[in-house]
Structure formats: C-alpha cells, structure tokens
Amino acid sequence: MASRNRSLLVLLVAATSPLSAQAPPALRLSFAEAVRQVTGEAPPPAVAIAGFRADAASARVRQTRAALLPNLSVSGIWANRDFNSKAQGISFPGVPTVIGPFNSYDGRVRVTQTLFDLSSLGRLSAARGQVSAAAAERSAVVENAAQNVAVAYLRAARAQAVVAARLADSVLAADLVTLAAAQQQAGVSAAIDLTRAKTQLAEAAGRLIVATNQLERAKIDLVRALGLDPATPIALVDTLRADLGAADLPVGRDAAVAQAVAARPDLAAEQAREAAARQAASAISAERLPRLELEADYGLSGVRPPDAIGTRQIAVQVTLPILDGFRREGRLAEQQATVRESQVRGRDLRQQVAADVDAALIDLRSAAAQQTVAAERLELARQEVSQARQRFKAGVAGNIEVINAQETLLRARDADLDARFAAAAARIALARSVGAARTLH
C-alpha cells in the first residue's frame, strides 16, 4: 500500500511538470545573476529603450552646438537672363532699355561663423543638462528593472518552495493512508479513518497541482522580466533562503536616507531636469542680447567660364532683437513655469525617498519578528503531527487528530514561507529605496 501511494505521488508530480523530452536545457540562474542581467549585454527592453533615449539626448547636444560652429557651403549657378536697364537706374544715351539675353556663371564658397551668441550658449548648456537627466533616467530604469527581476525571482523561489511543501504534505498524507489501512486490518481503527485519510491525500494532490501551476507561471513572469522569450526554460539555483535579497546597505535610518538622497537616480534625474529648464529659461532671456556673426565668400563669376574672375565678400553682421510680438516673453513665462513645476516635483520626491526608506525599514522589522514566530509555529506543528500519529498508531485516538495536525502543519509551512518572502521583499524594497537595487545578491 505504501509503495503504491508513493508511486501515485511520483506520477502526479510528473503529470504536473512541463514536458521536457525535446525541450532545450534549462537556463540555470541564481538570484545575483538574474539581477546582473539587467545591466548585461542583453538587458530588458525598458533598459535598452532608456539607453536609446540617452543616445538621442547626446545627439541633440551636437545639433545645438552647430549654432556655434562654422558653416561651410559650396554653390554653383548658371543663368540666362535679360533685364530692364532703366529699372536698374541705368539711363544713359546709347544704353539699350533691354540688355541681354546673356549667360551668367557663378561658383562660390561661403563660410559663416557665429562670433557671439549668448542664447546659443545657453541652449547648449540646457542640452547638456538634458543629457545628464537622460543618463540619470536610464539609471532609474535600471534600478526599477533590477527590482522587478529581483521580485520576480523571489516569487518564483517562493512558488518553488510551496511546491516542495505541498509535495511534503502529499507524502505525509500518503503515509497516513498507509497507517490507516494497517490499523483497519489490525482491527483497531474504523473504516471511516481510512476514508478520511484518502480524502486528505486527494486534497493534498489537488494543492500540489495548483502549486505546480503557480510555479510555472512565476517562471514565465521571471523570464519576461529578464526580457527573454516566454518559452525559455529556467531553473532556479537559489532557494527561498534566509539571506535572499541581501545588499550592501548602510546601517541606521539616517544613513539610509542620506545615501538615498545622494544615490537615487530618479531624484538625480529630476534635479538635472530642473537645471536644464533653468538653462533653457536663461537662453530665452539671452535672445534679447546682440548676436554677432562673420560671413565670408569667394567665387568665380562671368558670362563665360573661361572669362570668369574671382570675387569675394567679407561681412560682419550684428543683430539686436527688439520686438517679436511678445512671443519671447510668452516662451520665457512657459519655461519658468516648467522650472517651478520641476522644483515641486523635486521637493516631493525627496520626501518620497525618506518615506520609501521608512516603509522598507518598518517592513523589515516586522518580517524579522514574523520569521521568529513562524519558525516556532512550524516546529510546534511538526511536534503536534508526530504526537497525533503516535496516538493514532497506539489506538488511543482516531486519525481526525492526525488530519487536524497535518492541516495545522500546512498552515505553519505557509506562514513560514510568507515570513521568509516578506523579509526578502523588504530587503529588496530597502535596496531600491536607497538606489542600490542593482547590487542585490
């Protein structure tokens, strides 16, 4: 009977496991390796997209710098024309009214250079500030991705631990069926005890099926968090151990908040955006100042290419904007509103940073206390099962006590897993709150 029950359990586990006859080898992945893949050669899509945005911001700097660098152009013109000499102010005896038609050839090299433009310098500074903001935003995306991968791995590890717990429950229920059958054959137990034991085994089998399904779904979520194909098979190297999700973090609330303010990339991104907005506002104000440009060209012109002669021009141009219909003032007011908006977001984010650290520390203390209680509860539940089985085996009690004790053990195992999961989740949240999620191990 015992061997038959265990064989049924083996078949049940095989039935709930994914087919792997022709599947590729599973990707063995530890918790630390999963987190490191966020910054690896094949990062998740969100991280890759953030990198492209940073590249685009760098390209905008080159575009803005062009206003301060020389511009060189080459042009060539052929024209066949005639013109009214009187319309050009030429009215002399013997000069015909219509001159032409004739050919005109002109080839020219033209160079322009901005000598002084404070507005363009301000726009260049603002563009560089946007690069800093984009780089910080990418770091913030990396932190979020690292946290998402860490939590996904943690959930998969918990689901794997639940499967192991449900399998242990099933083994215990199968042993109870064997014991109840032996007690019935010995005449010291009623038939209802065997029926209860079989019912308990069926319930345990159902829980195992559900747990296995949840494990496979958790693995899919982990694979997607890593940016891989959902069909990629994966094997978890780490279990839901006590130190899962650890990171090198400061000790104490004040030190954690100080590190968070200094290292949180989302806060750095907001500060960079505020600085860039200020530079953009300054650039708009500087548009009221004179702009100084140098222009030079040299070329060959004539009515026939062999007769073309060299001509040149050098010019210095000063432009002083006076009035543009108050459009500049409207743009400046809009940019100043953007600056004030960024200031408000920055203040709120600094407060949110402290709140995140406090919440994570509270959860961490609570999880530590829960782990202590859950460990003691689990040990007591195991003792209760052992004592109930001894009483049933001795014939001084029915197996209802064993079934109740096994239910208590099941709940105690779940509570222990929940406590370990909560502690690891709190450690991950604390690392993210101080900007150190990518250092999780």
233/14 Cα distance (integer angstroms): 16
Q: Write the DSSP symbol of residue 325.
A: T
Instruction: Name the amino acid, one letter, at 72.
Output: L
In the numeric block, which tokens belong to residue 231? 């069909």
Q: H or E stretch including 301?
A: strand 291-302
Q: Buried b / exposed e across 272-300, counting CB within 10 Å, b at 16+? A: bbbbbbbbbbbbbbbbeeebeeeeebebb
Cis omega (within 30 of 0) on the bond before 265?
Answer: no
pLDDT higher at 323 or 214: 214
Domain locations in the chain? 2-13+25-79+100-439
Mean pLDDT of 406-423: 93
In this structure, what is the dihedral angle of CA atoms 40, 42, 47, 48, given to the nearest 10 degrees? 130
Within a 10 A sphere around the Cβ of 184, how many other Cβ atoms? Answer: 17
User: Strand 98-116 and strand 234-236: pairing?
Assistant: unpaired
Q: What is the pLDDT of residue 6?
A: 52
Q: What is the pLDDT of residue 250?
A: 82
CB-count exposure of residue 138 (10 Å: 0-12, 13-18, 19+): buried
Q: What is the pLDDT of residue 9?
A: 53
Residue 146 has pLDDT above 60, yes or no: yes
Q: State the average pLDDT for the chain.
A: 88
Instruction: Judge contact between 234 and 222, C-beta under 8 A.
Output: yes
Residue 40 has pLDDT above 90, yes or no: no
Residue 21 has pLDDT above 50, yes or no: no
3-state secondary structure 155-216: HHHHHHHHHHHHHHHHHHHHHHHHHHHHHHHCCCCCHHHHHHHHHHHHHHHHHHHHHHHHHH
273/342 Cα distance (integer angstroms): 7
Q: What is the pLDDT of residue 15?
A: 47
pLDDT in tens, 55-99: 999 999 999 999 999 999 999 999 988 888 888 788 888 788 888
Q: What is the pLDDT of residue 183?
A: 82
Percent of the chain with pLDDT over 70: 95
Instruction: Name the amino acid, one letter, at 30.
Output: S
383/389 Cα distance (integer angstroms): 10
pLDDT higher at 392 or 2: 392
Sheet strands side by side (includes 291-302): 71-84, 98-116, 291-302, 309-319
In the numeric block, which tokens belong to residue 209? 């099926």
Instruction: Judge contact between 98 and 86, C-beta under 8 A.
Output: no
389/382 Cα distance (integer angstroms): 11
Mean pLDDT of 2-18: 51
Q: H or E stretch including 311?
A: strand 309-319
Q: What is the pLDDT of residue 18?
A: 52
29/15 Cα distance (integer angstroms): 24
Beta-strand ranges (E) seen in 61-181 are: 71-84, 98-116
In the numeric block, which tokens belong to residue 352? 């949110």
pLDDT in tens, 290-315: 999 999 999 999 888 888 899 999 99
Mean pLDDT of 404-430: 93
Instruction: Name the amino acid, one letter, at 321.
Output: P
Q: What is the pLDDT of residue 292?
A: 93
User: Strand 291-302 and strand 98-116: pairing?
Assistant: antiparallel
CB-count exposure of residue 203 (10 Å: 0-12, 13-18, 19+): middle
Mean pLDDT of 394-418: 88
141/293 Cα distance (integer angstroms): 43
155/234 Cα distance (integer angstroms): 14
Q: What is the pLDDT of residue 20?
A: 45
pLDDT in tens, 349-381: 999 999 999 999 999 999 999 999 999 999 999
pLDDT in tens, 318-355: 999 998 889 999 999 999 999 999 999 999 999 999 99
pLDDT in tens, 249-278: 887 899 999 999 999 999 999 999 999 999
| Long-range pairs for 176-180: beta carbons < 8 A, 24 or more residues apart | 176/200, 176/201, 176/389, 176/399, 176/402, 176/403, 176/406, 177/1, 177/5, 177/201, 178/1, 178/2, 178/5, 179/389, 179/392, 179/393, 179/399, 180/399
pLDDT in tens, 92-125: 887 888 888 888 899 999 999 999 999 999 999 9
For the structural domain made of 2-13+25-79+100-439, what CATH number should be given? 1.20.1600.10
74/437 Cα distance (integer angstroms): 55
Mean pLDDT of 174-185: 86
Residue 1 has pLDDT above 60, yes or no: no
Residue 428 has pLDDT above 90, yes or no: yes
Q: What is the pLDDT of residue 113?
A: 94
In the numeric block, which tokens belong to residue 160? 């794997």
